[in-house]
Amino acid sequence: MRDQVHSKTRVRYPMVRKGFLASPDSPQGVRGQDEFVRVSWEQALDLIHAQHQRIRERYGPTSIFAGSYGWRSNGVLHKAATLLQRYMSLAGGYTGHLGDYSTGAAQAIMPYVVGGNEVYQQQTSWPMVLEHSDVVVLWSANPLNTLKIAWNASDEQGMTWFDRLRKSGKRVICIDPMRSETVDFFGEDIDWVAPHMGTDVAMMLGIASTLVENGWQDDAFLARYTSGYEIFARYLTGESDGVAKTAEWAAEICGVSAAKIRELAKLFHENTTMLMSGWGMQRQQFGEQKHWMLVTLAAMLGQIGTQGGGFGLSYHFANGGNPTRRAAVLASMAGLRGGRY
């Protein structure tokens, strides 16, 4: 941060393209080639406001997209999106956006799957994971990298919990096409499985199919806590489309051997398994399918709502899983079975 403040590459003053400054309504020159001219803050603000008004009067307020959405300094006042949208509202309106870049697909589908956003909600607490989980699966997650990033300033408490997980002796599996910093962090204490990029759903379907083949799915849980499983089951077995989503079928798509897929299914079934998903795999076309299928797999295991079991979508960011309060946490999967979470 200090290096950025004093960097020679930092733009310290308002700079305007020369061709634009000479004729704001019909700029001359070529972007990328035209030189920049230093102007005062007052002149820069006047130029911006004048162009916003010109465009708004000619094309309407919907023609202006207030697109700044991301990072900020501490406090709401120093959040670029808040300040920009406040100005745009006062000036006559703008086009905004729904969702965000980080979880655009997941947060759109999760309310229809589990009744809440989930990607930014309370996760099963780390003490519960360390005490009760037998197997922890990091699916498309690189927490050793992403826990160092936050909206304001990262406090990296989550790093301590992952270090405790590494020393706990529990079975940890990382499913990621790339060998990440997290894989290197765990070293010999992690099982790294590398499917082809974008084939997570196929791999999950292969695991789910293996559960059904062996009668390992939790029918009681599925009947009581889910809706629509019978439709999914017909798709899984190929009854609805003629294609059985077996481990062999999945292996041809994801590049992970059928034997490994079956091994994972057996491991997940026989142990209290926590599926910790990252967000990277949903940043693609049909990305919502990834987390939807992850929750489906967790439901088939029947461990959602149990101590140390189920799934979580935010252990890799903003210290998800850290105990944040002593009172009951209601806005999560915690109360699904009415037990201690």
Q: Which of 209, 170, 220 shows the shortest CA–CA distance to 191?
A: 170
**Distance of alpha carbon 149 from alpha carbon 102, whole angstroms:** 12
Question: Which of helix, strand or coil describes residue 162?
Answer: helix
Q: From the CB of residue 303, how many other CB atoms can be counted at a distance below 10 Å? A: 23
Q: Which of 201, 198, 176 shows the shortest CA–CA distance to 186?
A: 176
With both helix axes pointing from N to C terminus, report the angle between 258-270 and 247-254 in degrees, rounded to the nearest 10: 120
Question: Quick check: is 161 catalytic?
Answer: no
Q: Using CA of residue 46, residue 48, residue 53, residue 54, what is the dihedral sign?
A: positive
Question: Quick check: is 41 catalytic?
Answer: no
**Distance of alpha carbon 294 from alpha carbon 163, whole angstroms:** 25
End-to-end CA distance of the chain: 39
**Distance of alpha carbon 29 from alpha carbon 34, whole angstroms:** 6
The residues, ordered by sequence, that sit 6+ positions from 27 with a Cβ below 8 Å of its Cβ are: 17, 19, 20
Q: From the CB of residue 243, how many other CB atoms can be counted at a distance below 10 Å? A: 12
Q: Residues 59, 71, 101, 151: which is the catalytic one? A: 71
Q: Residues 13, 41, 59, 69: which is the catalytic one? A: 69
Q: Which of 173, 191, 196, 198 shows the shortest CA–CA distance to 274?
A: 173
Positions annotated as catalytic residues are: 69, 71
